[in-house]
Structure 1
Amino acid sequence: MSELSNLIIRRGQLKGQLTRIANYIRDNEKNPDIDQIKVRLEKTKETWLDFQQVQLQIEEEGETPDESEKYRNGFEQLYYDNVAKCNKIIRAASPSVISNFPSDRTSNESASNEINSHPNIHPVQSAMKLAAIEIPRFTGVYTEWAAFYDIYTALIHDNKSMCDIQKFFYLRSCLGGDAEKVIQCLQTTAENYQAAWKSLTTRYDNKRVLIQVHVKALFDLEPVKKRIVGAFTCTN
Structure 2
Amino acid sequence: MGRIFYALLLLLLVTAPALAANMPKRLSDIPIYPGAVRDPEREQLHWDYLGYLSDDVIFHDVRAYRIENTYVDDAAHFYLEFFQPALGWPDTDPYSLEPGESLGPWYDLGFWETTRIFQDQYELDTLIQDGKWIRQAFAQRPQWEEGKWLSAMSFYWEMVNDDYELLSFSLHLTDLGYDSLEKIDYKTTEIFIEMTVTELPDWEDWDDIDIDWEAIWNRDWDDDWDD
Regarding TM over 0.5, the answer is: no
TM-score in terms of structure 1 length: 0.22
Larger strand proportion of the pair: 2
TM-score in terms of structure 2 length: 0.22
Greater gyration radius = 2
Larger helix proportion of the pair: 1
